[in-house]
Amino acid sequence: MRVLGIETSCDETGIAIYDDLSGLLSHQLYSQIKLHADYGGVVPELASRDHIRKVIPLIEQALKDADSTKDDIDAIAYTAGPGLVGALLVGATTARALAMAWDKPAVGVHHMEGHLLAPMLEVPAPEFPFLALLVSGGHTLIVRVDAIGQYQIMGESIDDAAGEAFDKTAKLMGLDYPGGPRLSKLAEAGSAGRFQFPRPMTDRPGLDMSFSGLKTFAANTIAANGNDEQTRCDIALAFEQAVVDTLIIKCRRALDETGFKRLVIAGGVSANKRLRTELGDMMQKRGGEVFYPRTEFCTDNGAMIAYAGMQRFKAGQTQSLAISAKPRWPLDQLAPL
């Protein structure tokens, strides 16, 4: 069976075709970074308009790359939420229109379930059960995963997501959008120990997190120490270390609580080199394993939606052709397979 996946939740248009026997056959990705750079962040209306322009040409190219036609497609999966409602509706209306025209079933996919399952596209893939750390621009979640659809949110950020904190702090430092990766690059030239940032909510029990205060701490540090190049590098390093340490402390507690030996990290921030390295070191010391998707599948993409859609489709979970999008949609409300 083959599933066409459509991802349009924010500022990337992702299209992919996944075959349950052959794996990923093709994937196309168009990023709107240049479009939004002048505004310092995503402009929802512009994002929606750009998805409209790109989605059909990318579908045509994905079919061509997979040497497939509409007759080879068994179902159409699309991101139904969470995300920007206008952007979501572009993908939803495209998927529902194609489903009706091609006489195929449609499958609405939860965006964060797509990220959570993205490491399944790799070899080796993690086996259930495992602990998942989902870190992106919009979400930071620690999730117990017993099977597809069987999710327990153990901890989450009570304010800014980790990726959001990266981007906001980068903006304070005068870095262009998207600031998170640029801040991490700046941190590579930083001197450790010059600045010491707090590790929020690690001095109390529990798995919830908070990152908004780190942005304020960075603003105060910049104001007190100036903004020359080396100072910016040192602040970037101190900030990154604080975020990574916080995530590691919380993951360690969750692993102790569950007893799991497998940890999955996914979402845009999972591409961060320091986070990957230090989580890998932690899991090695614990006699466990860490899994993550390749860099191109850390950010939003159609491959993860096609894969997640395939699992839902094979379990018989499809939707009517009524067009709907869920800008807010808790992960633990999903139906199990």
Alpha helices in the chain (DSSP H): 33-37, 44-65, 85-102, 111-117, 162-172, 179-187, 212-225, 229-258, 273-285, 302-314
Collapsed DSSP state (helix, strand, coil) of residue 175:
coil
Closest CA to 277 of 240, 227, 325: 240
Report DSSP letters for 204-237, one per residue: SSSS-B--HHHHHHHHHHHHHH---HHHHHHHHH
Number of C-beta neighbours around residue 155 at 10 A: 20
Q: Where residue 150 falls among pLDDT bands split at 50, 70, 90?
A: very high
Asked whether residue 302 is marked as a ligand-binding residue, the answer is no
- pLDDT attached to residue 155: 98
Tokens standing for residue 319: 């939707």
Residue at token pair 């083959």: 2
DSSP H/E element including 131: strand 130-135
Asked whether residue 135 is marked as a ligand-binding residue, the answer is yes
Contact 187, 179 (CB under 8 A): no
- pLDDT attached to residue 316: 96
Q: Where residue 274 falls among pLDDT bands split at 50, 70, 90?
A: very high
Closest CA to 169 of 161, 159, 179: 179
CA contacts within 13 A on the Cβ side of 257: 16
Given a cut of 90, whether residue 226 has pLDDT beyond it is no
Q: Which residues contact 4 (CB under 8 A, 6 or more apart)?
A: 15, 16, 17, 59, 62, 63, 73, 75, 76, 77, 98, 306
- The percent of residues above 90 in pLDDT, for the chain, comes to 95
Q: Where residue 93 falls among pLDDT bands split at 50, 70, 90?
A: very high
What pairs with residue 23 in β-bridges?
A: 19
Q: Where residue 242 falls among pLDDT bands split at 50, 70, 90?
A: very high
The residue with greater pLDDT, 278 or 322, is 278
Asked whether residue 300 is marked as a ligand-binding residue, the answer is yes
From residue 138, give the alpha-carbon distance in Å to each of 49, 84, 164, 210, 271: 21, 11, 6, 13, 15
The residue with greater pLDDT, 208 or 177, is 208
CA angle 305, 311, 312 (to 5 degrees): 85
Read off the pLDDT of each residue in 133-138 and give the average, rounded to a whole number. 94
Asked whether residue 134 is marked as a ligand-binding residue, the answer is yes
Mean pLDDT of the chain: 96
Cα–Cα distance measured from residue 319 to residue 83, given in angstroms and rounded to the nearest whole number: 19
> Domains plus CATH for the chain?
2-117+297-333 (3.30.420.40), 128-292 (3.30.420.40)
Asked whether residue 180 is marked as a ligand-binding residue, the answer is yes
Read off the pLDDT of each residue in 287-313 and give the average, rounded to a whole number. 97
Q: What's phi and psi for 3, nearest 5 deg?
A: -120, 135
- pLDDT attached to residue 324: 85
On the question of a cis peptide bond just before residue 200, with omega within 30 degrees of 0, the verdict is no
- pLDDT attached to residue 13: 98
Read off the pLDDT of each residue in 278-306 and give the average, rounded to a whole number. 97
- pLDDT attached to residue 320: 85
Read off the pLDDT of each residue in 176-189 and give the average, rounded to a whole number. 94
Contact 282, 293 (CB under 8 A): no
Number of C-beta neighbours around residue 181 at 10 A: 17
Collapsed DSSP state (helix, strand, coil) of residue 118:
helix
Q: Where residue 197 falls among pLDDT bands split at 50, 70, 90?
A: very high
Given a cut of 90, whether residue 319 has pLDDT beyond it is no
Contact 10, 16 (CB under 8 A): no
Given a cut of 90, whether residue 321 has pLDDT beyond it is no
Number of C-beta neighbours around residue 167 at 10 A: 24
